[in-house]
Amino acid sequence: MVRDGCSLCTSPSVAATRESLTISETCTGHTYSAVKVVDKNTQESVTLEKEIMGLDHPFISRLLFSFEDPQYHYLVTEFYPGGSLFDLIKRKGRLSEKQALFYAAEILLGLEHLHSKGYLHRDLKPENIMIAADGHTKLIDFGHQSTEEYMAPELLGESEGKFSEKSDYWSLGIILF
């Protein structure tokens, strides 16, 4: 693959439970992480995700660029060497109260910004919260495929029309618990 005259080299890796690609530009040596590889049959989801990742906020993953091949869309973001919040909790066993408050505050600020722009996350879970190189959180995966373990009880088995900002806050509460 070529972008702006640079070759893009890909190598597969695993982030949380999903496959991802690590992408490096040969002419700059810059490393990105393609967190999303999406089938072209889900165009509406990709468009929404690109809009959200275009928001300028320190706790929301930023879309650096995207490209496609005949079968897939590739959404390329910054590389998050800290892994996911899920990975961090798994390594440490449990976060201190100070760490939990720090991450909760950043997640809350990210959610408030999303909501102020008319968007919902709808799949907030530790696997969708990345830790950047500077230790701060980045919300990812805005494809709206909710995970039951983090859904508000009234949403279980319901259609997508029932989601609200409260649903995202419920998910944050479950993460904190």
Question: Which residues are identified as catalytic?
Answer: 123
CB 142 within 8 A of CB 50: no
Q: Distance between CA atoms of 26 and 169, rounded to whole angstroms?
A: 42
Helix (H, G, I), strand (E, B) or coil at 169: helix
Strand partners for 139: 60, 129
100 Cβ contact partners less than 8 Å away, ≥ 6 residues apart? 176
